[in-house]
Structure 1
Amino acid sequence: MNNPQFPDILIWAIPVFLLGIAIELFWLRRRPIENAYTFKDAITSLVMGSGMSLTDLLFKGINLAFLMWIWLTFPHFDLGYTLPIILLALFVDDFFYYWKHWLYHKSRWFWATHVVHHSSEHYNLTTALRQPWSNYISGTVLLKIPMVFLGFHPVLLAFVGGLNLLYQFWIHTETINKMPRWFEYIFNTPSHHRVHHGRNPRYLDANFGGIFIIWDRLFGTFVPEQENEKPDYGIVVPLKTYNPIKVAFHEYVAMIKDAFQPGLNLKQRFLYVFAPPGTCHDGSKQPIAEIKADFIARHPDQAGTPGLPIK
C-alpha cells in the first residue's frame, strides 16, 4: 500500500490559533477575568510556540524516518487509512498520549521538556502555544512503536497526533466554565485542563488525557475542578522570567547542576535525572507525593477529598 498523504494540520491551524486568541481577548474586554492575560507572558508563549514550529520543521522528519524504518523493517499489521481507521487511530493515539503525558510528569528527564508548557502563571489560549523546543530529544517517539506494530502507518500517526494537539488548543481558557455533563464525562474540557495546570496540592499530577478524560477516570488520575478552589496556575517553584531561552532550557540546566554536584553516588545522580521531579538526596526539595502529604498534615480535614490522599 502506498504511503498516505495527510496535511501538516498544526501549520494549517495557525490562522485558527490567532483568530481564537483574538476572540478570547475581545470576550475578556467585555467580561474581564482577573489575571487572565499579561502582555509579556502572552508574548513569551507565542515566541515559544513559534520556536516549536521551527524545531518541528527541522527535526520532525527524523522521528518520522525512524518510525518508517520500523514500518519497513519489521513484520506488522497494516490497517490502512480509511475514515474508520483514522478515527480508531485518533482514539488509540490518545490512549498512548495519556501515558506519555503521565510520564512527562513522573520523570524529571521528561519533565525538563514539558515544564515549559506549565511555566505560565496565566491560563489562556496563548498558554496552549507555550510549547517546548526540546521535544525531539526526550525520546517519547519510542511510545509510538506499539502503534506501528498494531498497523497504524507512521504518516497517519503524525496526522492524528496533530489533531490531538489541535483539540487541546481550545481547552486552555477560563472563558468557558463547564460543558454539558455528558461531554465533561467523556472529553477533556477547559474545566478539566484548568485542574491539570494548577499547582494547588490537590490538582498536582491530575487529568493527563488529551482529547478524552476517560483514561483519567479509568486509571485513577481524574480530579474535578472544585467550585471553592480556583486553580493557581504555574509550576511549584515559579520561574519568574519571560526570557524564552530560560523558559526553554531552565530545567535542563537545573537537572545537570543537581546531577553533577560533588559528593553524590551513582544512584543519587541517576535519580536526579530520571526520578520524579522534586526528588533529591538532602530533602531540600519535595516530589509531588510529599507536597500532598504535607498539605494533609496541615489540613487533616481535607484527607481523602478529590486529588488528596486519605492520610
Structure 2
Amino acid sequence: MEELGKFTLYVTAFVIAVSMVEAVWLTRKNRNAATPFAWHEVWLSLADVVARKLLALLPLSLATPVFALAWEHRIFTVELNSALMVLALFIGQEFCYYWYHRASHRIRFFWATHAVHHSPNQLTLSTAYRLGVTGKLSGSAIFFAPLVWLGVRPEVVLLTLFINLMYQFWLHATWIPKLGWLEYVFNTPSSHRVHHASNVEYLDANYGGVLIIFDRLFGTYVEERADEPCRYGLVTPSTSRNPFVVEFEHWATLIRDVVMAKTVRAAINHVIRPPGWMPEGGGETTEELRRKSEAARRECKVANS
C-alpha cells in the first residue's frame, strides 16, 4: 500500500503539471474571448487535491474496514496470472464503476461529494482532480467491495480504480473532437463533455469510466450534438470562490433538509432520492426539469402556431 501511495503521488504531480500547461495555453487562446479563462477554477481544484492528499494521511477511510470484511469472507482467491483474468478484472471494475458513478448522480447522499467534481463552470483538465474531500467518508467503497469479496486483493482493486481515474484525466477537455468509431466502445472527451453538461437534455448520462458500453447497454448514453453546445457546471451554478463553500455546500443543504423534514420518511428520502427531490413535488430532479422543459416547449409551439 505504501508503494501504491508513492505511485499515485508521482502520477498526481504529472497530471497537475499537464493541466497547468493546458491552463496557460487556454489563457492565451481565450485572451480576447467573451469569456476569458477562469484561473480561480484551477486554484479550487488544486486546493481540493492538496486537501485530499493531506487527509489521506489520516485513518479516516471507510474502504479499509469494508474491504477487510469482504476479503475475510471472500469466496475465491483470484490470481491475475493470465490475460483473461486481467480482462475479467477490467470488465468487473468497469461494471462496478458504472454503478458507483450512476449512484453518485442519482442518490443525494453520494451526490453531496460528487457535486464538487461537477462544480467548475468551465471544463478543463484541472477539473479531473477536483473530486471532493469527503469521498473517503461517504462509503462509496461499497460499490467495489464485490470485487474483493470475489477474491481480488484490496490493493489490486484500488490500483485498478486509480488507473481507471487516470484514464479519465484526458476526457476533461473541450478541444479534443469526436473520435470516430472509438465513440461506440470507449469513454471519450465528447462523451464526457455531455456528462459534465448542465443542459436538461444532457443530464444524468454517460457514467462509464474507460468504456461507454454499459451506458449503451443500460440506456444512459447520450451523444454530444453540434446543435446543443454543452453548458458546464451544476444546474444551479456554483459561483463561490471559497474552497470550503465549494466542498461542503451540498452537505450543508442536505443536512438542512433532513433536519427540517416534517416526517422521518421525508428525511430519509432527502438522503436516498435524487438531487432536487422535494416531498411536495415541484423540485429540480432530472425528470422534473425535463417535464418542465417539455411543457415550456409545447407552450412555445402553441404560442407560435
TM-score, reference length from structure 2: 0.89
**CA positional deviation for 1:238:** 1.7
In terms of mean alpha carbon deviation, does 206-215 or 10-19 score higher? 10-19
**CA positional deviation for 1:299:** 2.1
| Contact 1:36/1:123, CA 8 A, preserved across alignment | no
In terms of mean alpha carbon deviation, does 143-152 or 266-275 score higher? 143-152
| Contact 1:76/1:148, CA 8 A, preserved across alignment | no
* Gap regions ≥5 residues in structure 1: 302-311
Three-state SS of the structure 1 residue aligned to 2:14 is helix
1:222 matched residue in structure 2: 221
Q: What is the rounded CA distance, in whole Å, between the counterparts of 2:282 and 2:297 in structure 1?
A: 22
1:137 matched residue in structure 2: 137
| Contact 2:74/2:150, CA 8 A, preserved across alignment | no
In terms of mean alpha carbon deviation, does 280-289 or 192-201 score higher? 280-289
1:241 matched residue in structure 2: 240
2:303 matched residue in structure 1: none
**CA positional deviation for 1:232:** 0.6
- Sort the Cα spacing of 1:34 and 1:197 in 2 relative to 1 into closer, same or farther, 3 A: farther
| Contact 2:119/2:246, CA 8 A, preserved across alignment | yes
| Contact 2:48/2:130, CA 8 A, preserved across alignment | yes
What does residue range 245-256 of structure 1 map to in structure 2 within 5 Å? 245-256=244-255
Pair 1:257 & 2:256 matched: yes
**CA positional deviation for 1:27:** 3.9
2:13 matched residue in structure 1: 15
- Sort the Cα spacing of 1:165 and 1:59 in 2 relative to 1 into closer, same or farther, 3 A: farther
Equivalent residues, number? 297
**CA positional deviation for 1:86:** 3.7
- Sort the Cα spacing of 1:135 and 1:168 in 2 relative to 1 into closer, same or farther, 3 A: same
| Contact 2:240/2:246, CA 8 A, preserved across alignment | yes
* Gap regions ≥5 residues in structure 2: 300-305
**CA positional deviation for 1:26:** 4.7
| Contact 2:66/2:145, CA 8 A, preserved across alignment | no
In terms of mean alpha carbon deviation, does 77-86 or 37-46 score higher? 77-86
| Contact 2:276/2:283, CA 8 A, preserved across alignment | yes
Q: What is the rounded CA distance, in whole Å, between the counterparts of 2:22 and 2:49 in structure 1?
A: 18
- Sort the Cα spacing of 1:164 and 1:297 in 2 relative to 1 into closer, same or farther, 3 A: same
What does residue range 266-285 of structure 1 map to in structure 2 within 5 Å? 266-283=264-281, 285=283
1:307 matched residue in structure 2: none
Question: For residues 57-95 of structure 1, what are the alpha-carbon distances to aligned partners after superposition, in whole Å with 9 as ceiling and x for unaligned?
Answer: 324765235413421x22421121336234432331111
Pair 1:124 & 2:154 matched: no
2:40 matched residue in structure 1: 40
Question: For residues 72-131 of structure 1, what are the alpha-carbon distances to aligned partners after superposition, in whole Å with 9 as ceiling and x for unaligned?
Answer: x22421121336234432331111000000000111111111000011101001111111
Q: One-letter code of the match for 2:88?
A: L
In terms of mean alpha carbon deviation, does 26-35 or 232-241 score higher? 26-35
What does residue range 288-303 of structure 1 map to in structure 2 within 5 Å? 288-300=286-298
Q: What is the rounded CA distance, in whole Å, between the counterparts of 2:222 and 2:230 in structure 1?
A: 12
**CA positional deviation for 1:177:** 1.4
Q: What is the rounded CA distance, in whole Å, between the counterparts of 1:248 and 1:24 in structure 2?
A: 24
Three-state SS of the structure 2 residue aligned to 1:170 is helix
- Sort the Cα spacing of 1:204 and 1:251 in 2 relative to 1 into closer, same or farther, 3 A: same
Query: Percentage identity across aligned positions?
Result: 33
In terms of mean alpha carbon deviation, does 238-247 or 11-20 score higher? 11-20
**CA positional deviation for 1:15:** 3.0
Three-state SS of the structure 2 residue aligned to 1:13 is helix
| Contact 2:74/2:151, CA 8 A, preserved across alignment | no
Q: One-letter code of the match for 2:121?
A: E
RMSD: 2.4
2:89 matched residue in structure 1: 89
Pair 1:191 & 2:190 matched: yes
Q: One-letter code of the match for 1:23?
A: V
In terms of mean alpha carbon deviation, does 277-286 or 159-168 score higher? 277-286
- Sort the Cα spacing of 1:86 and 1:68 in 2 relative to 1 into closer, same or farther, 3 A: farther
| Contact 1:36/1:122, CA 8 A, preserved across alignment | no
In terms of mean alpha carbon deviation, does 267-276 or 12-21 score higher? 12-21
Q: What is the rounded CA distance, in whole Å, between the counterparts of 2:49 and 2:239 in structure 1?
A: 19
Q: One-letter code of the match for 2:238?
A: L
Q: One-letter code of the match for 1:275?
A: R
Question: For residues 236-274 of structure 1, what are the alpha-carbon distances to aligned partners after superposition, in whole Å with 9 as ceiling and x for unaligned?
Answer: 112220111111111111011111116x01111111121
**CA positional deviation for 1:295:** 0.9
Q: What is the rounded CA distance, in whole Å, between the counterparts of 2:53 and 2:170 in structure 1?
A: 18
2:208 matched residue in structure 1: 209
TM-score, reference length from structure 1: 0.88
